[in-house]
């Protein structure tokens, strides 16, 4: 009998459009002989499934079920494709834990910690597994001293929402005089923002996942953006960024990158597929951690599908192996 998969997409943030594109790729590459896939859209106003026979069907939140033609359907697994809240910050995971539905991502706690960039930085900083740039955390409802920020950090800096993705609200600031507009822009996306020193170098990103109890890495991607940094446009507009997979790095750097990525995955007790971003610092050759994406993009232009292909796998086999491991 085919397993029933709820492919959960949408979400509450500006990343919902990217989520729908990810869900489309995933759905196209789930083996129809093995899985019966139902796309579930989660919005603030409603959670629903668009049925070809019954039209829009509201989700019964008591057990995350739907009723089609009088028949109640429950699911074996929720494949989460929501970037941002509530799919990447632990909220949806907590709900699924309460009703006992397995899901494809990190658990509630780890999703919440990794979504909060400052918390994740602090957790990894204490483990001494990677370098992390100096930063300052600001809260929207608390006063802050601009003078203290200027004394603490060396420009240029990145001003970014502490809890957001897809580089929404992110600015690179080279002069102190320009920092206040960047702070306002970031606060529009998040109640907390992070001001982080810029590390010059090569941006690298690598997929990490676990199957059969073993942590694996995918071939890393080198990101060369025509923009000043890898912003929203660079991530999702074809031709703005040159995405080179496998990355043009030495054997030594490759080994260090893979070892560090596996260590971070293990230390944080990650599950499913994650993507970890780094900067290889120019001159020193040091690897600096940027962030963990626990629901990385899966659209046809996204990095993880490129890395899966570079590893010699098909998306169908990759997603199938992930699902079977999660259900075992």
The CATH superfamily of 112-131+200-294 is ATP-grasp fold, B domain (3.30.470.20)
What the block records as the tokens of 241 is 């960024």
Taking alpha carbons only, the member of 117, 74, 73, 114 closest to residue 93 is 114
pLDDT(230) > 70 = no
Using the predicted structure, report yes or no on whether residue 200 has a pLDDT greater than 50. Answer: yes
Question: Is there a common fold for 3-105 and 135-197?
Answer: no
Does residue 10 register a pLDDT over 90?
yes
Give residue-wise pLDDT tens across range 16-47: 999 999 999 999 999 999 999 999 999 999 99
Q: What is the pLDDT of residue 167?
A: 64
Confidence of residue 225 (pLDDT cuts 50, 70, 90): confident
- What is the structure's pLDDT at 239? 61
Does the domain at 3-105 match CATH 3.40.50.2300? Answer given as no
Give yes or no for residue 233 having a pLDDT over 60: no
d(CA 112, CA 88): 7
Work out the angle at residue 107's Cα, subtended by the Cα atoms of residues 223 and 245, and round it to the nearest 5 degrees: 20
Cα–Cα dist 303/276, whole Å: 11
Highest mean pLDDT among 13-22, 55-64, 138-147, 238-247: 55-64
Domain boundaries, the chain: 3-105, 112-131+200-294, 135-197
The angle formed by the CA atoms of residues 308, 313 and 317, to the nearest 5 degrees, is: 105
- Of 149 and 91, which is predicted with more confidence? 91
CATH topology of domain 135-197: Dna Ligase; domain 1 (3.30.1490)
- What local confidence, expressed as pLDDT, does residue 103 receive? 98
What is the average per-residue pLDDT within 97-101?
Answer: 98
Retrieve residue 298's tokens: 């899966």
Measured CA to CA, the distance from residue 84 to residue 169 in angstroms comes to: 13
Q: Are 87 and 73 in contact (CB under 8 A)?
A: no
- For 207-219, how does the pLDDT look when each residue is reduced to its tens digit (9 = 90+)? 999 998 999 999 9
For residue 182, the 8-state DSSP code is: H
Q: Which of 161, 242, 237 is nearest to 203 (CA)?
A: 242
pLDDT greater than 50 at residue 198: yes
pLDDT of 177: 87
pLDDT of residue 165: 55
Integer CA distances (angstroms), 88 to 22, 131, 153, 209, 315, in order: 14, 24, 29, 16, 22
Which pLDDT value is given to residue 240?
64
Retrieve residue 237's tokens: 């507009």
State the pTM of this model.
0.91
- What number is the average pLDDT over the span 3-18? 93
pLDDT for 169:
83
Cα Rg for the chain, rounded, in angstroms? Answer: 20
pLDDT of residue 234: 46
Q: What is the Cα 16 distance to its own chain's centre?
A: 13
Nearest alpha-carbon partner for 203 in 162, 238, 158, 249: 249
Average pLDDT over the chain, rounded to an integer: 92
**Do 54 and 69 form a contact (C-beta atoms < 8 A)?**
yes
Q: What is the pLDDT of residue 120?
A: 95
Predicted confidence band at 151 (pLDDT cuts at 50, 70, 90)?
confident
Q: What is the arithmetic mean of pLDDT over 158-172?
A: 80
């Amino acid at each position: 009998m085919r397993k029933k998969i709820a492919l959960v997409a949408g979400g509450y943030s500006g990343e919902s459009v990217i989520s729908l594109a990810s869900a489309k790729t995933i759905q196209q590459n789930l083996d129809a002989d093995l899985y019966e896939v139902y796309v579930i859209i989660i919005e603030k106003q409603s959670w629903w499934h668009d049925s070809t026979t019954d039209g829009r069907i509201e989700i019964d939140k008591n057990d995350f079920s739907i009723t089609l033609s009088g028949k109640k359907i429950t699911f074996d697994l929720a494949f989460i494709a929501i970037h941002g809240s509530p799919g990447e910050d632990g909220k949806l995971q907590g709900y699924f834990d309460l009703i006992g539905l397995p899901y494809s991502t990190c658990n509630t706690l780890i999703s919440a910690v990794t979504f909060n960039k400052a918390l994740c930085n602090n957790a990894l900083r204490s483990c001494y597994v990677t370098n992390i740039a100096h930063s300052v955390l600001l809260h929207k409802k608390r006063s802050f001293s601009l003078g203290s920020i200027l004394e603490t950090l060396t420009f240029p800096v990145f001003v970014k929402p502490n809890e957001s993705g897809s580089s929404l609200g992110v600015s690179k600031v080279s002069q102190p005089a320009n920092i206040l507009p960047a702070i306002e822009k970031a606060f529009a996306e998040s109640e907390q923002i992070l001001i982080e020193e810029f590390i010059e170098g090569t941006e690298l990103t690598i997929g990490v996942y676990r199957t059969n109890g073993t942590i694996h890495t995918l071939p890393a991607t080198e990101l060369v953006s025509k923009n000043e940094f890898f912003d929203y446009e660079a991530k999702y507009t074809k031709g703005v960024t040159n995405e080179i997979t496998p990355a043009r790095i030495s054997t030594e750097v490759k080994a260090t990158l893979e070892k560090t990525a596996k260590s971070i995955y293990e230390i944080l007790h990650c599950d499913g597929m994650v993507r970890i971003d780094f900067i290889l610092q120019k001159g020193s050759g040091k690897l600096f951690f940027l962030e963990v994406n626990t629901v990385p993009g899966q659209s046809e232009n996204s990095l993880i599908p490129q890395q899966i292909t570079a590893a010699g796998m098909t998306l169908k086999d990759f997603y199938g192996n992930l699902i079977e491991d999660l259900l075992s």
